[in-house]
Amino acid sequence: MITAERKPLNEIIEYVRPFDRILLVGCNECVTVCAAGGRKEVGILSSALQMALLKQGKNIQIKEHTLERQCDPEYVEELVTMIDGADAVLSMACGCGVQELARRYRDKAVFPAVNTKFMGASERPGVWAERCQGCGDCLLGITGGICPIARCSTRLLNGPCGGSTQGKCEVGPEIDCVWQLIWDRLKALGREDRYEDIMPAKDWRTGRGGGPRKIIREDLAE
């Protein structure tokens, strides 16, 4: 999932301070799962904003709405009947959702209420960890299903650096050395020989090195 964290309240207040009517929009997908921007978080932020601004002598009207997905134009259309009643829009979706709202409703100021963090997975309740950087050329079939690009602090592709010690990363003892994890995984699978395969230099053009990316499915595109 795409993970996010709510921005500091003071930063959000500065975004909305010039406006009297705010449409606060949540998203029912990734940011709901990571407890950053779902229906519950929309309600919490709405109350916090109104109380904080009221203490500063400003009365603000906030309309709350949570879309199924903010990154999908089909669902963004739901806001058509609400948008005219707002001076600005505050989005609790990831950066994709914020940009989709700004693209569709060009005459409205759209502000982010969360910081998009990374593509990750849940380790345990309340804890999410980075697992993918969307490099565009997946190596997981070679590395035992463990990503060295997302999980190695220096993104090494052919084994650990000289700083790893006792299975831990040189950046900090709380971080597992991903190449130790890869070795353990390959060994458990009886595929230790794959560890000695030399990976060529990575072509980063499939990632952000080639500029903004786009997928086009000719069988689906209109």
Give per-residue pLDDT as tens, 72-102.
Answer: 999 999 999 999 999 999 999 999 999 999 9
Task: Give the confidence band of 186 by pLDDT, cuts at 50, 70, 90.
Answer: very high
Structure tokens at 162: 């000289």
Is the residue at 219 inside a domain? no
For 128-146, write each residue's pLDDT tens digit: 999 999 999 999 999 999 9
Q: Looking at the 3D structure of the chain, how many domains does it have?
A: 2
Domain enclosing residue 112, as ranges: 2-118
Is the residue at 124 inside a domain? no
Q: Identify the CA nearest to 115 among candidates 91, 134, 133.
A: 91
Structure tokens at 107: 């005459």
Q: What's residue 108's pLDDT? A: 97
Strands (E), 38-168: 61-67, 88-91, 109-112, 114-124, 127-132
pTM: 0.89
Please name every residue paired with 63 in a beta bridge, in sequence order, or none if there are none.
23
Is the residue at 33 inside a domain? yes
Same domain, 85 and 187: no
